Amino acid sequence: MSSSLANLAPIPELYVSYESAQKMKGEAAQLTSFDLTPRQICDLELLMNGGFNPLKGFLSQEDYDGVVENMRLADGTLWPIPITLDVSEKFADSLEIGQDIALRDQEGVILATMTVTDRWAPDKAREAEKVFGADDSAHPAVNYLHNQAGKIYLGGPVTGIQQPVHYDFRARRDTPNELRAFFRKMGWRRVVAFQTRNPLHRAHQELTFRAAKEAQANLLIHPVVGMTKPGDVDHFTRVRCYEAVLDKYPSSTTSMSLLNLAMRMAGPREAVWHGIIRRNHGCTHMIVGRDHAGPGKNSAGEDFYGPYDAQELFREHQAEIGIEMVDFKHMVYVQERAQYEPADEIADKDDVTILNISGTELRRRLAEGLEIPEWFSFPEVVSELRKTRPPRAKQGFTVFFTGFSGSGKSTIANALMVKLMEMGGRPVTLLDGDIVRKNLSSELGFSKEHRDLNIRRIGYVASEITKNGGIAICAPIAPYATTRRAVREDIEQFGAFIEVHVATSIEECERRDRKGLYKLAREGKIKEFTGISDPYDVPETPELRVETEGTDVDNCAHQVILKLESMGLIAA
């Protein structure tokens, strides 16, 4: 078979036959089970269906070390991203090496079995440094690594029993072999993939048209619907946007398929990974853009990766990846000619009007309900986005007060609630510490673990209120920065999160000691008391800081109202 058609031949999958699968399902009842997280399910699906070919399972320790160090498996094969099964120490301790475990989805349905050949505690700081370029928790994958992933990694081969179930957009999801079969049937020899996690606007359409023309290839729009980064437009909305745009493409040369990938936002390494995954799906070319799969700014406020780092790394490994790169032209709209042109090819730059709307600007216009011009995006796409992202003054949001016990959080929160109720328009819910303790967390004590759990519950309820267009006001102490960040991420999927630091000094709180708690803490009768025997992480960049010493409650609540107005959350 000539190499030009190698992209169309079937590739190995890790699934057993239907008969064996039925038999294994029965036998699996005897095995120790592990319930996978959504991110692990994404990884498992691509392992099983050949999307991660040549991997035969979760990486062994030796393979992991090679991947982290120099993007290669132990046998020298190019592979840039660690694919490991992270578990808790407790679960890892219950296993023997060589043991088979059942991997199940969140409903307990068995998807695969795995033979545990390796078990180790990884050096996560090193993984962050090497794979993501920095051990900086502003990177979503580094934050995940340190604050969500289990402490122990398991490695070993996987035997696939059945695909994870997707109830959404079923006709749009294809395994690598299904896509290869489709390309064979259509007679497509050359296929250029477009990787995206954002809605497509006119510039993207121009760019993909040009890329396909340049490579003389057919076009596969291949958006990621697994996990992207916090704050991205949800995949339901995006797929509806893609479907609206598909009509603008010639159907004989363009197709769309959804990829259930958990992105790591690892920039250059991610681009190489995306290339290997697209090669497995039968593509011959891939578009790599500026700052491909970049996560945005680091802790110092600079971009994590240079704009062309990903293209350079891809170019370097292109032959080995087995896919050709089509580099992204930055497309801008030239008003006089009423068309999109590559920014670097406009000879008469100084004599024409060049228009461009950044992602940030687009979000601002959606948030404020401003016009989005037709030259920028298709009306069908804009109307889908507006359904999910109404103007801010119609969205739900959460105001989250944090500060020492007795700092005045509850008092200001109550005043704010009354002021917002007076304005009307949205239901307002106050999730105050004592109310929550009584109704949601009556069984919890005051250990660090229990206090964290209490805050996560408050965050969960607030995120549901926000999602449904209401206003949630929370007033816990919330001493730990990582917990506050987790709550922020839960809520920002659905609406704005306003952190208000009630910056009353510990001396003042102790002087007030309304509930007599400081006295008890000083006498050692309350253990782990924030500010006395337990730390308080002062918020570094809250949306608002209010000083309560010498300021009356009404004024503090009014400062919050002014902040909400300036953010467009309440109509001025």
Report, as residue numbers or ranges, the catalytic residues.
196-198
Coil, strand or helix at 82: coil
| 445 appears as a binding residue in the annotation | no
Buried b (16+ CB within 10 A) or exposed e, 316-335: ebeeebbbbbbbbbebbbbe
HEC sequence for 460-528: HHHHHHHHCCCEEEEECCCCCHHHHHHHHHHHHCCCEEEEEEECCCHHHHHHHCCCCHHHHHHCCCCCC
Phi, psi dihedrals of residue 484, rounded to the nearest 5°:
-60, -40
Joined together, the tokens standing for residue 452 give 């964290």
Joined together, the tokens standing for residue 323 give 């896919």
Coil, strand or helix at 449: helix
Cβ atoms of 169 and 237 within 8 Å: the answer is no
Element (H or E) spanning 195, and its range? strand 191-196
Residues 6+ apart with CB under 8 A from 92: 119, 150, 152, 154
| 404 appears as a binding residue in the annotation | yes
End-to-end CA distance of the chain, in Å? Answer: 69
DSSP 205: H
| 403 appears as a binding residue in the annotation | yes
How many other C-beta atoms are found inside a 10 Å radius of the C-beta of residue 433? 21
Q: Give the amino acid at 533.
A: S
| 156 appears as a binding residue in the annotation | no
C-alpha neighbours within 13 Å on the C-beta side of residue 55: 32
Closest listed residue to residue 92, CA positions, set 145, 171, 150: 150
Residue with tokens 């500026």: 290
Using CA atoms, how far apart are residues 68 and 72, in angstroms rounded to an integer?
8
| 408 appears as a binding residue in the annotation | yes
Using CA atoms, how far apart are residues 211 and 439, in angstroms rounded to an integer?
57
Cβ atoms of 71 and 78 within 8 Å: the answer is yes
Closest listed residue to residue 289, CA positions, set 308, 314, 313: 308
Closest listed residue to residue 450, CA positions, set 531, 534, 549: 534
Closest listed residue to residue 36, CA positions, set 175, 226, 196, 223: 226
Cβ atoms of 207 and 341 within 8 Å: the answer is no
| 2 appears as a binding residue in the annotation | no
Using CA atoms, how far apart are residues 564 and 210, in angstroms rounded to an integer?
44
| 4 appears as a binding residue in the annotation | no
| 469 appears as a binding residue in the annotation | no
Q: Please, is 306 exposed, middle or buried when counting C-beta atoms within 10 Å of its C-beta (0-12, 13-18, 19+)? A: middle
Element (H or E) spanning 46, and its range? helix 38-48
Residues 6+ apart with CB under 8 A from 422: none
Using CA atoms, how far apart are residues 379 and 201, in angstroms rounded to an integer?
10
Residue with tokens 């989805």: 105
Closest listed residue to residue 67, CA positions, set 269, 240, 243: 269
Would you list which residues are annotated within the binding site? Answer: 403-410
Would you list which residues are annotated within the binding site for ATP? Answer: 403-410
